[in-house]
Amino acid sequence: MKVVMIDHPGGPGSLKLQTKPDLQPAPGMLTIDVAYAGVGYFEVLLSRGEFSAAYPMPLTPGLEVSGYVRAIGEGVKGFHVGQPVASMTLHHLGGFASIANVRPDLTVPLDQLEAEVDLATAAASIVNVTTAYLAIQEVHRLRAGDSVLVHAAAGGLGSFLGQMAKRLGAGKVFGTVGSPGKIELAASLGYDELFLRSDFVEHTLRATGHKGVHAVFDPVGGDMRKQSLDVLRPLGQMVVVGNASGEEDVGHSFNQMWFSNRQYAGFTLGGYSDSNPVETGTAAREALNMLAKKEIHAQIQGVYPLEDAAEALALLEKGATVGKLVLKI
C-alpha cells in the first residue's frame, strides 16, 4: 500500500511517500480501499509537530477519507464488502494512504443517504460539515433568526459554517476573510455580507445596527478573539472551533464575561467524538444528507494525487486556498 509518512517536524516539506505492507482488518474496525482523502489545516499543524504529545511521530496524517469497504473486522455489522463509505479517522489518523482502518461508528454508508454524493465531495466534507452541524446545533443551539458571524468564511470549515447556519434557520449571516480576493470567492456560500478581517468590528456593528450578533464562530484564533467580544450582543456566544493562526492562547476575564452578559464555548470534533461516537456518527449522516440533497454544497479548490500531498499542504500553509483540497489515491 502507498502511504504518506511524517517522521520529523518540518512543515509540509517533511511529508514522504512510502510503500508498506497492506493493512489487515482489525477486530471492531472496517478496512477500506481509500479513493479520496480530505486535506485540512490540521495536517499542516501536524507536519510542524504541534500535536506531538497526542500524535507522536512517525505518523500518517489524514482525518477524513472516502472509498470502498475492503474487509470487515470481527464483530462489525451493518456493512458489506464493496460498499461506498466516508469516514472520520480522528483518533488514529492514517487517511493519506491507499488503505485505511476506520471505526464503523464514525463511518457513513454513502449508499444509504437520501441522495447521491460523490466520493471526492464526501472525503472533502465529512469532518468540516459534521463540525459545523454540531457547533451550530448542539453548542450554540441556534434559534430561528439568530445573527451569526463566521471568521475565515472562505476556508474549509468556514465555507460550511455559513451555509449550515442558514440551513438551520439563522437570520443574517456575516463572514470575514483575510484578503480582498476571497470576498468574491466566498460570496457563493450564502453570506449576507463579507468583511475583511482587518476591520470586521466596525462593519459588523454597522450591519447589525450596533446591536451585535448572537454568535461568532472562530476557527482562526489570536487577537481576533478579543475583538470578537465587541461584536457580540448581550447573551451572545463566542464559539471557538480552531486556532489556524497558530498564535498563543488568548486569555479573557470571567468577570468581563459576567459583567457584559457574554458567553464563551469551545468545540473540537476529535474530543467530542471520542466520548460521543454514536451522536457524532448520527450528526455526520444528517450533515452529509444535507450535502447530498444540495441544501448545502462543498467548495473543492483542487484535487491532487497522493504523491503531491506536500504541495497541497504548502498551499494551505500560505493561506492560498478557498474551500477544501482533496487527495486522489
Is residue 253 scored above 90 in pLDDT? no
CB of 21 within 8 A of CB of 76? no
**Total domains present in the chain:** 2
Grade residue 210 by pLDDT with cuts at 50, 70 and 90.
very high
* Same domain flag for 222 and 135: yes
CA separation for the pair 208, 120 (Å, rounded): 38
Please identify which residue in the block is written with the cell numbers 500535536.
51
Which of 86, 92, 69, 94 is closest to 3 using CA atoms?
94
Final residue of a structural domain among 248, 268, 288: 268
* Same domain flag for 142 and 254: yes
pLDDT, residue 223, reads 82
* Same domain flag for 188 and 120: no
* Same domain flag for 261 and 316: no
pLDDT cut 90: percent of the chain above it: 77
pLDDT, residue 314, reads 94
pLDDT, residue 131, reads 97
* Same domain flag for 293 and 214: no
* Same domain flag for 264 and 276: no
What domain range includes position 259? 129-268
CATH of the domain at 320: 3.90.180.10
Final residue of a structural domain among 216, 240, 268: 268
Q: Please state at what angle helix 158-167 crosses helix 119-134, rounded to 10 degrees.
A: 70
What count of Cα atoms within 13 Å lies in the side-chain half-sphere of residue 196? 5
pLDDT, residue 77, reads 95
* Same domain flag for 184 and 257: yes
Mean pLDDT of the chain: 93
Final residue of a structural domain among 252, 268, 284: 268
CATH of the domain at 158: 3.40.50.720
* Same domain flag for 71 and 60: yes
* Same domain flag for 162 and 244: yes
Least confident range of 33-37, 114-118, 164-168, 318-322: 318-322
CA separation for the pair 191, 203 (Å, rounded): 14
Is residue 325 scored above 80 in pLDDT? yes
* Same domain flag for 211 and 249: yes
Is residue 21 scored above 90 in pLDDT? yes
* Same domain flag for 205 and 301: no
CA separation for the pair 287, 126 (Å, rounded): 8
pLDDT, residue 190, reads 84
Listing DSSP states for 247-310 in one string gives PPPPP--HHHHHHHT-EEEE--HHHHHHH-HHHHHHHHHHHHHHHHTTSS---EEEEEEGGGHH
Grade residue 242 by pLDDT with cuts at 50, 70 and 90.
confident
* Same domain flag for 194 and 155: yes
Grade residue 111 by pLDDT with cuts at 50, 70 and 90.
very high
pLDDT, residue 138, reads 96
pLDDT, residue 250, reads 76
